[in-house]
Amino acid sequence: MGNSWYGPLADPSGNAGYAADHPPRVGFFTDTSVCIGCKACEVACKEWNALPADGPHHDQPDLLDLTATSYDNTGALGASTYRHVAFVEQTRPRAAAATVDLGMPLPANDGDATEVRWLMASDVCKHCTHAACLDVCPTGALIRTEHGTVLVQDDVCNGCGYCIPACPYGVIDQRKGSREEGGGGAFKCTMCHDRLGAGLQPACATACPTESIQFGPLDELRERAARRVETLHERGVPEARLYGHDPDDGVGGDGAFFLLLDEPEVYGLPPDPVVTTRDLPSMWRHAAAAALTVAATVAAAFLGGRR
């Protein structure tokens, strides 16, 4: 079977060469409508994976970095942060909110009344069906696992950094620090590969107290997510929508997808990511044409002999 670079792909592990009896593709469904922003996932991930501190003071872990924008002081996913809880504070017109009548007297809504809503969402590597990081890795350090996830083999990675700008979600990064801490290499969520083999759930999903992070076979998660969106729509939350669930999207669907309550970019997610490798055949064609131009130009410059 040839490599598929773009479009729907039912079985990425099979496509990568695993025998037909490989385990089912697993993933995360992160339902942000029940996330309480407790960051248990971040802590469980750090603990299980023994991740070092990060940020500008990574060599002085006692120094905390404060973003001074919200309760989110983690900021973003990174080489030592495989789960990141985003915290969005929005002021919006009260009319836009779905309210439950508790029989309490409410102040008259004269049209400019506003309310605050908090959006919390635990972000993670998307384990794309078509993973740009994996495609561009020159050493083969990044692989597709038998579970359909995307994994960095740290003993192979030479720290070239190509995967970092290739990721359309800005997930993977190079770790700073000493060799013992893995410095120089590229790191990202492994979906707790070491737990999967032992039949355990990833640490974040295990720790999540509200089942905002759900782990399981991807097919089941997609069905469950579709039902959840329907339920929310029925309950008067029309802004609920899925993100990354669609096998027809620019990355062939994510192994880790989300239920969001606003546009993706509000949470720091790209609205319509496309795997860069989609255009690679065109890139090679243009590069070949340009290289032929070079060869022809030099050859033509030598025509006309030695005058």
Partner 1 sequence: MSPRRVGRGERLMVPDAEFSSYYGRPILKSPTWKVPDVPLYLYLGGAAGTSACIAALADVTGRGPLRRWGRLAALTGALVSVGALVHDLGRPRRFLHMLRVLKPTSPLSVGSWILAPFGTLSGLAAASELTGIAPAVGRAAGIGAAALGPAMTTYTAVLLADTAVPAWHEAHRELPFVFAGSALAAGGGIGLAARGDVRPARRVAIAGAVLELVAGTVLERRVGFARSAYTGGRPGRLLKLARAATATGAAAAAAGGLVPGRRGRMLSLAAAALLNGGAAATRFGIFEAGVVSARDPAYTVQPQRARVEARRAGVDG
Q: What residues numbered 253-292 form the site for partner 1, per CB under 8 A?
A: 262-263, 265-273, 276-277, 279-280, 282-284, 286-292
Nearest residue to 127 (alpha-carbon basis) of 79, 82, 179: 82
> Which residue from 99, 139, 210, 231 is in contact with partner 1, where contact means CB under 8 A?
139
The pair of structure tokens assigned to 301 is 């410059």
146-176 per-residue burial string, b: 16 or more CB within 10 A, e: under 16: bbbbbbbeeeebeebeebbebbbbbbbbbbb
Residue placing its CB nearer to partner 1 in the complex, 211 or 279: 279
35, 88, 207, 208: which one binds partner 1 (CB under 8 A) = 88
Single out the segment in contact with partner 1 by CB under 8 A; choices: 20-28, 56-64, 86-94, 101-109: 86-94
Q: Between residues 27 and 168, which has the closer beta carbon with respect to partner 1?
A: 168
Reading the block at residue 91, the tokens are 């002021």
Compose the 45-74 pattern: x for residues touching partner 1 by CB under 8 A, - for all others.
----------------------x-xx----
Q: Which stretch binds partner 1 (CB under 8 A): 104-112, 207-215, 229-237, 295-303?
A: 295-303
Residues 157-186 that bind partner 1 (CB under 8 A): 157-162, 164-174, 183-186
Asked whether the beta carbons of 208 and 172 are under 8 A apart, the reply is: no
Beta strand extents in 201-275 (DSSP E only): 213-217, 241-243, 256-260
Which is closer to partner 1, CB of 137 or CB of 151?
137
Q: Which of 76, 143, 200, 237 forms a contact with partner 1 (CB under 8 A)?
A: 76
Q: Which distant-in-sequence residues (6+ apart) come within 8 Å of 214 by Cβ?
A: 28, 29, 30, 31, 205, 221, 224
Using the rule CB under 8 A, is 12 a contact of partner 1? no
Q: Which residues contact 117 (CB under 8 A, 6 or more apart)?
A: 89, 90, 92, 97
Q: For the segment 103-122, give every residue that binds partner 1 (CB under 8 A).
A: none
Give the CB-side neighbour count of residue 43, counting CA atoms within 13 A.
Answer: 7
Total residues interacting with partner 1, rule: CB under 8 A? 79
CB of 141 to partner 1, least distance (A): 8
What is the rounded CA–CA span in Å between residue 39 and residue 191? Answer: 17
Residue with tokens 């997610």: 269
Residues 214-233 contacting partner 1, CB under 8 A: none
Q: Which is nearer to partner 1, 56 or 103 (CB)?
A: 56
Q: How far is the CB of 241 from partner 1 (least distance, A)?
A: 11
Judged by beta carbon, residue 163 or residue 203, the one nearer partner 1 is 163
To the nearest 10°, the Cα dihedral for 294, 300, 306, 307? -120
Closest distance of CB 258 from partner 1, Å: 14
The single residue among 31, 54, 135, 181 that binds partner 1, judged by CB under 8 A, is 135
Q: Return all residues near 2 (Cβ < 8 A) that are at least 6 apart.
A: none
